Amino acid sequence: MPATGTIKNNVRKIREELLMSKAELGRKAGLSALTIDRVESGMDCRMDTKRKIILALGLKLSDKDKVFPESS
């Protein structure tokens, strides 16, 4: 059963399509691999963290709904 507050996102799917490790994404985003793991597992995160991940995946901020579809 998922923990309360889990957020479905496509970070892992997109990262794996780019053949990128969690550590590599973390370095590009200025975040720890643990933070990437938590976000991929559905834990909520700050808007700034989402922005860093989107840009580190090589996407534009306008693509945010592709990565975080349930975000407002």
Q: 67 vs 1, 18, 31, CA distance in Å? A: 23, 13, 17
The per-residue pLDDT for 71 is 63
Q: Spell out the domains of the chain, with CATH numbers in brackets.
A: 11-62 (1.10.260.40)
- Chain centroid offset of residue 2 CA: 18
Q: For 15-61, what is each residue's pLDDT tens digit?
A: 999 999 999 999 999 999 999 999 999 999 999 999 999 999 999 99
